[in-house]
Amino acid sequence: MEEEKYSYDKIKDIADYIQSRTSQRPKLGIICGSGLGGLADLLTDTQEMDYTSIPGFPVTTVKGHGGKLVFGKLETVECVCMKGRFHFYEGYPIWKCAAPVQVMKLLGVKGLIVTNAAGGINSAKLNLGDLMLITDHINLVGVTGNNPLRGANDERFGPRFPATNAVYSKDLQEVFRKAADDQGLLSVVKEGTYLMASGPTYESPAELKWFKMIGADAVGMSTVPETVVASYCGMVVLGISLITNICIVDIESTDTPNHAEVLETANMRAKDLLNIVRLTVRWGQHLWNIEDK
């Protein structure tokens, strides 16, 4: 029997527990993708909290995902960073993968940066190591019955039927491009549509050809539940995919994608992404609605 979706009161209990154990009041949330936990190292005046110490909070089981909340400041902005996220393929119901975003909402978070490691489908547009700004998504898991907002709705979080045509902030994407240009990295910043598949298997050549036909530029196994819920909760969202492998669409190919390759590429580009994110937060504070008062 599927676990019952957390109520508003249950989410509030988790948020209250966290607040009682930290004096920090974050306005910006950051979710780190595979191999990108170094984003948490950007923070100063940090305080850490293991997921296992928080009643009701999920626990990550994937290599490259650290499993802790890190509170601190980034460019004077109080932040909470999820060093490790939760995936549908780990066995969690899809709503639980995104429940930490609702916790963030009740902690006072107004903006969200989400990163992931993704496979490049559109080889005409994307190269290994590119940073793809997510301009749209295909919620394959959601449209086949596992939407994170399925079930009882509480208007204190958001509306019953939220729109998803403007999940990702175009204004913040422009700030990200400006920051990349400042670092001499504008050439590796692309944009495109991210498709979420359930995993944990990497996609077959036939599946990848289909994904490309329906408009996907990159594919991964995360992110969309969090960004859908963040937008539903009224947060401003910036989504970034690090292209860590190029998808294999040739059935005759002897190459195989693997998680070690994903982590290796993530480590190669991680420092660049950290520098760009730092500048994006500095220059985009008015867009997050989190200006330092």
The tens digit of pLDDT for each residue in 116-168 reads: 989 999 999 999 899 999 999 999 999 999 999 999 999 999 999 999 999 99
> If pLDDT is split at 50, 70 and 90, which confidence band does 292 have?
very low
What is the C-alpha to C-alpha distance for residues 156 and 147, in angstroms, rounded to an integer? 19
> If pLDDT is split at 50, 70 and 90, which confidence band does 10 have?
very high
From the CA atom positions of the chain, what is the Rg in Å? Answer: 18
Provide the b/e sequence for 159-170 (b: ≥16 CB within 10 Å).
Answer: eeebeeeebbbe
> If pLDDT is split at 50, 70 and 90, which confidence band does 271 have?
confident
What is the C-alpha to C-alpha distance for residues 21 and 236, in angstroms, rounded to an integer? 26
pLDDT at 252: 72
Pairing mode of beta strands 218-220, 131-139: unpaired
**Residue 78 forms beta bridges with which residues?**
73
Give the residue numbers annotated as catalytic, written as ranges.
34, 65, 87, 89-90, 117, 221-222, 245, 259
Query: Mean pLDDT, to the nearest integer, of 19-23?
Result: 95
- Cβ within 8 Å of residue 141, ≥6 positions away: 88, 94, 196, 197, 198, 224, 225
Query: Mean pLDDT, to the nearest integer, of 92-114?
Result: 96
Q: With 90 as the cut, is the pLDDT of residue 251 above it? A: no
CA angle, residues 164, 168, 170, in degrees to nearest 5: 125
pLDDT one-digit tens code per residue, 32-81: 886 677 788 889 999 999 999 999 998 876 665 568 999 999 998 999 99
Provide the b/e sequence for 246-264 (b: ≥16 CB within 10 Å).
Answer: bbbbeeeeeeeeebeebbe
pLDDT at 63: 63
Query: Mean pLDDT, to the nearest integer, of 259-265?
Result: 70
pLDDT one-digit tens code per residue, 168-189: 999 999 999 999 999 999 999 9
pLDDT one-digit tens code per residue, 177-230: 999 999 999 999 999 999 999 999 989 999 999 999 999 999 999 999 999 999
Tell me the two tokens of residue 278. Answer: 């730092």
Q: With 70 as the cut, is the pLDDT of residue 87 above it? A: yes
Q: With 60 as the cut, is the pLDDT of residue 291 above it? A: no
Question: Phi then psi for 44, rounded to 5 degrees?
Answer: -115, 165
pLDDT at 1: 62
What is the C-alpha to C-alpha distance for residues 54 and 35, in angstroms, rounded to an integer? 23
Q: In the CATH hierarchy, which fold is given to the domain comprising 8-150+164-284? A: Rossmann fold (3.40.50)
Kindly provide the residue ranges of all beta strands, DSSP E only, lying in the chain, ordered along the sequence. 28-31, 44-50, 68-74, 77-83, 111-120, 131-139, 189-196, 218-220, 236-246
**Whether the bond into 200 is cis, omega within 30 of 0:** yes
